[in-house]
Each structure stands twice: as structure tokens, then as C-alpha cells.
Chain A
Amino acid sequence: MSRVIFFIGEGLRALRRGAAPSLAAIVTVAITILLLGVLIPILQTTGGKANEVRDQVDVRVFLYDDATQSETDTLETNIQQIPHVESVDYVSKQQALQNLRDRLDDPALVDQLPGHRNPLPASFEIQPDDIDNLGTITSALQPPGQNGDPEPISPAIEEVLDSRDDATAIASVSSTVKIFMLVIAALLITASLLLVGNTIRLSIYARRTEVEVMRLVGATNWFIRWPFMVEGLVCGLIGGMVAIGALLLGKVTIVDPLADSITLLSAQKTTTIAFPALMLILLAAATVVSALGSGFTLRRFLKV
């Protein structure tokens, strides 16, 4: 126990004495964590958006107005039996009109339809279990007939539409963005590890004679290493806390007021890990990387 106190004391003493290298390490850690703290939520938001788009993809089967109730019921059962169909929703003509009314800024427009007739067809909305199975479902609904043209499986079907084209376009854009962001994140993490490692190496190099003396009087490698690791840990902790303070400030003053008006930002609330958890992870990473970095960098000075 007294030994633990000794190591902590030694580490803190080194921090006080070698203020300049320690400050450099703290600033490096703070900047790195700040960048990661900004980048990770953005990355997650992009990913979240792409998933949202995938969820919106479906197949719509529009029905003739004169389709009978029994034709409709049979069709619904048939659709449910098609593989890869996750769910089927029947949308009646009235519901379709209501949906339209809800989506319009001025619902009164619906009432101005000529002759107060409802021009919208009834439909089935089919959710596939996966976006890639859209085509299978579509062709199951209208398999090619004798002359090669698609023929609907029921006389009630007027048209089959799927939103694949839109969806794949959006999805491919968002996945490109995602890959791009991942590459940037990977580069940034690599750069920060190298930067932190280099800063630690410099501060240890400045004290290599001290390490040499410690070895001469018979200090074991761990006895030399622990104070350096305590020092790295404290640097990482302080740097991490500075960065997280800045991030919190940025979140409260800039992001939160905007979140209500910008959908990209509000999406973050539902799709990303909680902000406090992210901050804790970053803080832990800063601390652990700095401490281990110090211990690891010392290796070259500790050869017997």
C-alpha cells in the first residue's frame, strides 16, 4: 500500500517538475479527444440516416376500385405467404385520403377535389425483411406470364410499385459518406495515437538520465515504470476532462438549440449512444492510452 502511495507521489512530483512536456501531452490528448468527440456523433448520425432510409423502403400494391372484398382478402393471404415478407398493411381508399390530408400543409385542399370524389386507390404496403429482397417480392407478385410480361397474381391488382430505386440511390450515397467518415476516423485515431505516443516519448527522453540512474541503483523495471504510468494517466485524465468540458459546452450552446429545427441533428437523439456514455468512453480511452503509452515507450530505456 505504501508502495502505491510512493508511486503516485513520484508520478505527481514528476508532473510538477516537468511541467512543459506534461502540458504538451495534456494539450495533445485534449485536442485529439475533442476531434473524436465531434467526429463520432457525426459518424453515428450518418449511419443512423442510412438505416432510416432502409426502413422506409417498401413494396406497394395498388388495387382497382372495383376489386371485391373476397378478392382483396385472398390477395392479402397470398401476399403473407410470399417469402421475405415481413408485414402487410391494408390501406383503404378512405385511409389513403386521410394520409394525404395529414401530409398536406393545407388539409382543405382535399375537400376541393372535383366532385368530392376520392381519386386514391386502396393498396397493400408490404415491408420486406431486408432491402435486398424487394425484387423477389415484386416478381412474386407479378410473375412473368406466357408472353414474358409481368402478370399480377390477382385480378384486383392494378399496379405494383417498389421504392427500390430511390432507396438504393440514397443508401449508396449514405454508405459512401459512411465509408468516407470511417476512413477519416481511422486516420484521425491513428494520428492521435502516434501524436500521443510521440509526446510521451519526448517527455521520457528528456528524463532518460534519470531512468539510467534508477537502473544503476537497482530499481526494477516496474519500479521505474509505475511513476511514469501514473504521470501518463494523470495527463490523459486532465486532457480528457478539458476536451469533454469543451464538448459539453459546445453541445449545450450550439448543438442543442439547433437540434429542434434541424432533422439531421435531432436524428442523433434516437440513433446514437448517449452523450454521457460517449464522454465516459473517450475519457477512459484518453487515460488508458496515455498510461499504457508511457509504460510502453519506457521499454526501450529499460533494456538490461
Chain B
Amino acid sequence: MARSDTSTRRRLRGRAAERRPEHLTERRAKPPIIELRHATKIFPGGHVALERVSLRVDRGEFVFLVGPTGCGKSTLIKMLIRELAPTEGEVLIAGRDIATISNKKIPQLRRRIGTVFQDFKLLDSRNVYDNVAYALQVIGASRSEIRSKVPDALRLVGLGDKINNFPDQLSGGEQQRLSIARAFVNHPPLLLADEPTGNLDPETSIGIMQLLYRINRTGTTVLVVTHDREMVDKMRRRVIGLADGRVVRDQSAGMYSDDENTTEFGLRLRDEMGLEE
């Protein structure tokens, strides 16, 4: 069992390596990391959650997906990790139609997509370290790999000194940082965040956004879903607006500089939100 897992992973890694851009200059040549082609989702009972949605997200982008509650944002996220299948149309991840992935291979897809949720979805029975380690254990990482990667991820999110705490001993912001560490510890090419700041106060939210931006700067594509249009507008990133299951707005490049560093990003945000440092 262990052996077949390893070989599957090796094959996947090989495939991933073909597609993952080694340099940013190669980005254009590769298929987009996310591509929806006329994706429609109709729930049993006739409710249309998404209607012929087409969009592309290229590697390395930082994208906001906004819209009021019930506009189909969460449905879209669920379709990207194949929790839901589109009724019509196609969902492509790194150029591959994920409807063609067999059920058995779905876990492999999810290992390459980090996910962060509004309610954190932590394992309450495990401490901070083990929560992050679990994501590595499921992919069969060796113990030494776990020992080196987990502290790195925790330091990145600023929880390096809380490894023995349990989730219920952390603040909301810290819990969200922990869930980001877990999502990122594999260094997935794509990170999805569904309302990551929905439960947090503005100051903490900026910290989380700053963290996601820092992760984006390492080359990971980040897609953030939120209903907080005002905050998004001030961040000057690409924004895709959804309403009633349709794309109503897609403002891309040109509005922000690509090489703003994390500190500048945070300072500007705080400034625009009217918060003191």
C-alpha cells in the first residue's frame, strides 16, 4: 500500500513538474491554473447557483472573488476541489478537466490545492503542530520531512511559539493562521480561501490578507472569496464579481504594481482602511 502510494505520488509529481512554471517568464506559456468554461451548477430542485461562468486565473495571480451571500461563490470553490461537479461546462485545474479525474485520484487533486475556510476547520483534538503535520502525514511524507516543514510553515504564519497549543486555546486570527499554515505546508500551486476573514475583526483581517499576499509572493496562486467588497476595492488586486451565479465584473491587471512587498502592502491597507499601525 505504501509503495503504490509513493509511486502514484511520483507520477503526479512528474506531471506537476511539467506544468508548474519554473520561472515567472514561462507563465504565459503554461495553461491557466484555474479555467472555467461555461460552468453551470443547478442544484436538485432547480436552484441555479452558477450560470455559464467562464473565467481564467493564471499562475501566480492574486484574485478576489466577491459578491453578496448566495451568489454562488462557495459553490464555485466547491467545484474547484470537486466537492461538487458542474451540471454543465468544464472546470480545468492546471489545464486538466477535473471531471475526468477518477474518484480514487481526487485526494491527489486536493493535496495540490490548499484550502482555507471561514470556520477554520481545524482538528480540535490535535495541537497546532499536529494539525499542520496531518496534512503531510496524509501524503505519506517521511518523519524527517515533517519535522523540517511543519516548523517552517508555523514560523511563516507567526505561530512558531505556539506549537503545543490546542485550537481552542488560540484566538480567531491565530486559528486562521494555523489553517493557512496547514493549507500551505505542502507548498501547493493553488490556495483557495473561502471567506478567510469572515469571522475576524478588521485589524486581524489585514494580518491574514498580508499573510495570503506573502504566500502569493512565493509563487502560489491565491484565490480569496469574500463578500466584503469595500475591503477588496482598497486592496487593488484583480477582482471577479459574481451576482446571481454570473460574472458581473472582472477587473484585472494594471491597477496595482506587482512588486509591492508585504510590508508596503500591509501599510497601504491599514492606511486605506483608516486603521493605525
Contacts and interface: CB of A to CB of B under 8 A. Distances in A.
A111 interface: no
A217 B111 contact: yes
A3 interface: yes
B121 A17 contact: no
Contacts of B124: 210
Contacts of B81: 216
Interface in A189-229: 209-210, 212-223
A213 B108 CA distance: 15
A213 B112 CA distance: 15
A304 interface: yes
B2 A209 contact: no
A184 to B, nearest CB: 41
Contacts of B41: none
Contact of B182 (A6, A215, A217, A219): A217
Nearest to B183: A217
A89 B71 CA distance: 95
Contacts of B138: 214, 217-220, 223
A216 B115 contact: yes
A213 B139 contact: no
A36 interface: no
Contact of A2 (B122, B134, B143): B143
A14 B124 CA distance: 12
A14 B125 contact: yes
Interface string B6-18: 0000000000000
Contacts of B248: none
Given A304-B82, A304-B106, A216 B140 contact: no
B107 A220 contact: yes
B121 A209 contact: yes
Q: Which of A3, A217, A220, A223 gathers the greatest number of chain B CB atoms within 10 Å? A: A217
Contact of A213 (B106, B109, B111, B122): B122
| Chain A residues touching B, majority SS | helix
Interface residues of A, number: 23
Given A304-B103, A304-B106, A218 B137 contact: no
B1 interface: yes
B246 interface: no
B155 to A, nearest CB: 20
A3 B107 contact: no
A213 B106 CA distance: 14
A68 B253 CA distance: 126
Given A210-B125, A213-B123, A218 B111 contact: yes
B215 interface: no
Given A2-B143, A213-B123, A214-B138, A219 B107 contact: yes
Contact of B110 (A6, A217, A221, A222): A217
A302 to B, nearest CB: 10
B193 to A, nearest CB: 13
B157 interface: no
A218 B5 CA distance: 13
A13 B140 CA distance: 19
Interface in B116-145: 121-125, 134-135, 137-140, 143
B110 A216 contact: yes
Contacts of B121: 209, 212-213, 216
B183 to A, nearest CB: 8
Interface in B143-174: 143
Contacts of B82: 304
Interface string A1-26: 11100100000011001100000000
Given A218-B138, A223-B138, A304-B106, 18 more contacts: A1-B2, A2-B143, A3-B1, A13-B125, A17-B125, A210-B123, A210-B124, A212-B121, A213-B123, A217-B111, A217-B134, A217-B138, A218-B112, A218-B135, A218-B139, A220-B107, A223-B107, A304-B82
Interface of B: 1-2, 5, 81-83, 103-104, 106-112, 115, 121-125, 134-135, 137-140, 143, 182
24 contacts: A1-B2, A2-B143, A6-B137, A14-B125, A18-B125, A210-B125, A213-B121, A213-B122, A215-B110, A216-B115, A217-B110, A217-B115, A217-B135, A218-B107, A218-B108, A218-B110, A218-B111, A219-B107, A219-B138, A220-B5, A220-B104, A220-B107, A220-B138, A304-B82
